[in-house]
Amino acid sequence: QKEVEQNSGPLSVPEGAIASLNCTYSDRGSQSFFWYRQYSGKSPELIMSIYSNGDKEDGRFTAQLNKASQYVSLLIRDSQPSDSATYLCAVLYNFNKFYFGSGTKLNVKP
Amino acid sequence: DTEVTQTPKHLVMGMTNKKSLKCEQHMGHRAMYWYKQKAKKPPELMFVYSYEKLSINESVPSRFSPECPNSSLLNLHLHALQPEDSALYLCASSQSTNEKLFFGSGTQLSVL
């Protein structure tokens, strides 16, 4: 079983702050990495994807990948109460299997 | 159209019932998936279809039977389920099996 590890949280940040979410994975053969946001009782929604080392920015979101350290992170700038959700890290193995971390619950306090 | 549509949204069934979950996408995706998610847990892969053929079965009990009638449709037939099978069942699709997943809104299943 491939492992994808996330701190379950909850991570609490004040409105307007930067939220930093982290994920580690066990298999060096992983090719692609994704962050999903899931509101309570809803389905996961894709936030970011990243495939190569470095940073990738999309609006208030920045994904960071370090394959040598087997580490991927998501930064949320100017956090809003509407960002309060569980964030799932997903890792693609063998070009056909997505494994999900258990998720980090983020609370953004007004 | 970037949606994956699942029906029904909620389902309550007894252990002797037979029911089916349905999933539809019109994005031209060639891979479709069933995931099971228990409360406060990550989605767990059940089945993967690629080009309408079953490519992955994650050792799912035979009381769950998937079907892919065509490239846009995916069904999950349920029979003789157990109360522990109660969960959110998520359908997803992707352009191919190594592309990002798009999830439907899910079916919340309760087995009594």
Distance from CA of A49 to the nearest CA of B (A): 8
How many Å apart are CA B93 and CA B100, to the nearest integer? 8
Q: How confident is the model at residue A15 (pLDDT cuts 50, 70, 90)?
A: very high
Return mean pLDDT, chain A.
93
Evaluate if residue A93 carries a pLDDT over 90: no
Q: Answer with the residue of higher pLDDT: B73 or A3.
A: B73
Q: Do A34 and B101 touch (CB under 8 A)?
A: yes
pLDDT of residue B98: 87
Alpha helices in chain A (DSSP H): none
Which residues does chain A have within 8 Å of residue B104's beta carbon, measured at their own beta carbons? 43
Q: Which of B23, B65, B28 is nearest to B46 (CA)?
A: B65
Evaluate if residue B73 carries a pLDDT over 90: yes
pLDDT of residue B66: 98
| Residue pLDDT, tens place only, A25-53 | 998 888 899 999 999 989 999 999 999 99
Among chain A residues, the shortest Cα distance to B36 is held by A43
| Residue pLDDT, tens place only, B44-62 | 999 999 999 999 999 999 9
Evaluate if residue B13 carries a pLDDT over 90: yes
Q: Which of A72, A97, A66 is nearest to A87 (CA)?
A: A72
pLDDT of residue B1: 55
A8-37 residues touching B, CB cutoff 8 A: 31-32, 34, 36
SS3 A23: strand
How many Å apart are CA B58 and CA A19, to the nearest integer? 35
Residue range A71-78: mean pLDDT, rounded: 97
Give the 3-state secondary structure of A81-97. Answer: HHHCEEEEEEEEECCCE
pLDDT of residue B2: 61
Evaluate if residue B16 carries a pLDDT over 80: yes
Q: Which of B42, B98, B106 sits opposite A96 (nearest CB)?
A: B98
pLDDT of residue B44: 94
Residue range A92-110: mean pLDDT, rounded: 91
B35-74 residues touching A, CB cutoff 8 A: 41-45, 48, 50, 55-56
Q: Which of A46, A88, A99 sits opposite B102 (nearest CB)?
A: A46
pLDDT of residue A70: 94
| Cis peptide bond prior to B42, omega within 30° of 0 | no
pLDDT of residue B35: 97
